[in-house]
Amino acid sequence: MTNQRIALGALDVGDLLHAEYPNGAKLIGLTLDVTASRIRARDITRQQVLEFDRQTGVSIRADGGSPCTIYSTEPLPPELHEAMIGLDRKYGSGRVPTEEESRLTPAEKKALIFIDP
């Protein structure tokens, strides 16, 4: 955990984190809650809430599914960070977006490509 890109102890509510499943699927999460031992974050694209061990960065799965691991806490450039927060608002508002609202904006496309080229 000495890698500068992974600073689990420095994560705070509102920060973004990057995690990966064993099959290579990646996610970007919005940190919702941080305690001494746990990090709760919401996968922005799937709106699934995940819980991570704060020491190891590995997700804690009650359902026995494959865990994912945080591989970076490095901040995104401001314009990409804002695009990701916009995606979270769009899909996490509790209402189904219209077809027009569901279309990704150029900024959202750029942010998603930046995260997983």
Averaged pLDDT of the chain: 87
Q: Read off the pLDDT band of 117 (50, 70, 90).
A: low
Lay out the sheet containing 16-20: strands in order across: 49-53, 38-43, 26-34, 16-20, 69-72
Taking only the tens place, the pLDDT of each residue in 24-65 is 989 999 999 999 999 999 999 888 999 999 999 999 987 778
Q: Please report, rounded to a whole number, the percentage of residues in the chain having pLDDT higher than 90.
A: 51
Q: Read off the pLDDT band of 4 (50, 70, 90).
A: very low
CA atoms within 13 A on the CB side of 104: 13
Taking only the tens place, the pLDDT of each residue in 95-104 is 777 888 888 8
pTM of the model: 0.84
The predicted pLDDT at position 5 comes to 59
Spatial separation of the C-alpha atoms in residues 34 and 104, rounded to whole Å = 30
- φ, ψ of residue 92 to 5 degrees: the values are -105, 15
- φ, ψ of residue 106 to 5 degrees: the values are -55, -40
Q: How far is CA 17 from CA 46, 87, 98, in A?
A: 15, 15, 28
Provide mean pLDDT across the span 104-114. Answer: 87
Count Cβ atoms within 10 A of the Cβ of residue 43 and give its class: 0-12 exposed, 13-18 middle, 19 or more buried. Answer: middle
SS3 27: strand
Residue 26 in contact with residue 17, Cβ under 8 Å? no
